[in-house]
Chains A and B, each alone.
Chain A
Amino acid sequence: MNDLAIKELLYKMADDQLILGHRNSEWTGFGPLLEEDIAFSSMAQDKVGQSYALYTILHSLGEQEPDTVAFTRNAEQFHNSIFTELPNGEYDFSLIRHFLYDTAEIMRFDMLTESSFQPLAELAVKVRAELRYHTLHANTWVKQLGSATEESVARLQKSLEHALPYALGMFEESPYEKELIETGVFAGEKKLQEKWLVKISAIINETRLQLPDLSTLQPVSGGRIGKHSEHLQPLLNEMSEVFRIDPTAEW
């Protein structure tokens, strides 16, 4: 099995979890309701913890320590999808992103429970169970606000249309796609996208929201190969600010 292929897969997953985890943490103290403040903060903690577990697997494959990897790389060395680095915007955008992202993420980990790469398969069982709370949260609010008032429906619809091209960028294929599939490490982005579409369609059909025809949309890709929007570097600067003051500090 090719280490590079596995590393590429682990990096994009870990970076997605870390960057969206950081965005979620920006809701701490600003949530529209105390419950939502707590929910986004808890999901942040889960996601950052899950990224740590993935960086730990990478470390066992010869990459640097998790903290070094998380805090000392620049934007072009990150493999997260552009979707995860976009600013939180209003709550409607954060909710829609949370829904589109976490639905994909739980299915990705679900597929990975069958992975031929044992450390990832073991971790996936655990992470899948945790992410159920995230998708439960997202689905509950999308169903509620997607059928509530004219304003809530219109806001979510607008955010959904804005978010979808970026969401499709999550499924940007790896240069090692064929190898990952053939060696049974991961069944591939195409398969994941199909499963994701079935699931989000089912939830959206329970609301007054309309899912646009995805084949008419141009995916916003590039994140997986380090081509990011202008939003990632400022996020990294803030996230690593304390670490960079004294990288050798003991916590």
Chain B
Amino acid sequence: MMRSSEDIYTLLEEVKDPEIPVLSLVDLGVITNVSVENNQVNIEMTPTFVGCPALDMMKQDIKDVLAKNGMNHVSISVSFKEPWTSDKISEKGRKALKQFGLAPPPVGKNLFSDIDVLEHAACPRCGGSNTSLKNPFGPTLCRSIHYCEDCREAFEQFKPL
């Protein structure tokens, strides 16, 4: 059966970020192109952070899901032509992050002309911005650590990039 690239995108919804199991790679925005020629599936992807250690796992998970659906000729290339930024996370992905307890990154802001973006991340619990940045580095490369003064609890944000 011939599959279209749309079919592949739908199947890739099943492949989740290994570190954030509620977020698909499609919603994360790391899949930059899918093409199908005869039986050959070509996927282009780009990492969130250059040193992301989950990249190989993501590639394997993509192959596993496509193999399960009968596609065994899959080639995946990694490219920086269209570099990932946090604005590539879909609206659905942002909601999933918030439900997971991770503050989604602010959209469309130039992080370093506006340091408040980092200093006052919106708390994923109460939605308030009475928060402070504890550490621009967190448990994974893509997360920072914050504290909500109202909830009196720490939280993490998916870093704007």
Contacts and interface: CB of A to CB of B under 8 A. Distances in A.
Nearest to A137: B136
A132 B161 CA distance: 9
Nearest to B56: A251
Interface in A49-100: 49-50, 52-53
A136 B136 contact: yes
Contacts of B51: 45-50, 52
Given A125-B83, A136-B112, A38 B53 contact: no
Contact of B136 (A39, A45, A122, A126): A39
A250 B6 CA distance: 34
Interface string A3-36: 0000000000000000000000000000000010
B9 interface: no
Contacts of A110: none
A174 interface: no
Contacts of A52: 50-51
A123 interface: yes
Given A35-B135, A122-B83, A42 B112 contact: no
A176 interface: no
A20 to B, nearest CB: 13
A137 B118 CA distance: 12
- Dominant secondary structure at the B interface: loop
Nearest to A49: B51
A130 interface: yes
A127 interface: yes
Interface in B104-118: 111-112, 118
Contacts of A126: 50, 80, 83-84
A49 B140 CA distance: 13
Interface string B138-161: 110100010000000000000101
B81 interface: yes
B49 A130 contact: yes
A84 to B, nearest CB: 17
A128 B32 CA distance: 20
B134 interface: yes
Contacts of B85: 129
Interface in A111-139: 119, 122-123, 125-127, 129-130, 132-133, 136-137
B11 interface: no
B20 interface: no
12 contacts: A38-B137, A38-B139, A39-B137, A42-B138, A45-B51, A48-B51, A49-B51, A49-B141, A53-B50, A122-B80, A133-B136, A133-B137
Given A49-B50, A129-B161, 8 more contacts: A41-B137, A45-B141, A47-B51, A122-B79, A123-B50, A125-B80, A136-B136, A137-B136
Among all A-B residue pairs, the 8 with the closest Cβ atoms: A49-B51, A42-B137, A126-B83, A122-B80, A39-B137, A35-B135, A49-B50, A45-B51
